[in-house]
Amino acid sequence: MSTKTPAHHLPVAHPPKRFWQKASSIIAKGSFGLAAIGVVVTIIYGGDVEADIKAALGATTFFCFAVGVVCQTMAGTSIPNLKPAPNNVDH
């Protein structure tokens, strides 16, 4: 039996995070924070406001949460370098 580690057990080398992935992570954290604030505000003022304002608060909270999910997914994805390699062949 071979003592060599199978290829599917080797660690994956992820490329370093790019600027926009880091920015997406920051935006995601901010969006989740705003969504949490929206939930608290909706709970506190939910009974004192009209139904259309309560619906707007809920929609804004949901939007912030959805943006946070999308940005966190973009920030956590391992994106390869898609730039073509320079062609060093002389013609």
Q: Is residue 2 part of a domain?
A: no
Question: How confident is the model over 26-72, as pLDDT tens digits?
Answer: 999 999 999 999 999 988 988 888 999 999 999 999 999 999 999 99
Q: Is residue 49 part of a domain?
A: yes
What is the band of 89 on the pLDDT scale with cuts at 50, 70, 90? low
Q: How far apart are CA 56 and CA 32, in angstroms?
A: 17
Q: How far apart are CA 53 and CA 69, in angstroms?
A: 24
- The answer to whether 79 touches 15, Cβ cutoff 8 Å, is yes
Q: How far apart are CA 88 and CA 31, in angstroms?
A: 45
Phi, then psi, of 48 in degrees rounded to 5 = -95, -10
Q: Is residue 54 part of a domain?
A: yes
Q: Is residue 28 part of a domain?
A: yes
Q: Is residue 69 part of a domain?
A: yes
pTM over 0.85? The answer is no
What is the band of 91 on the pLDDT scale with cuts at 50, 70, 90? low
Domain that holds residue 37: 17-76
Task: Please tell me the total count of domains within the chain.
Answer: 1
Q: Is residue 12 part of a domain?
A: no
| pLDDT given at position 90 | 61
Q: Is residue 82 part of a domain?
A: no
| pLDDT given at position 13 | 72
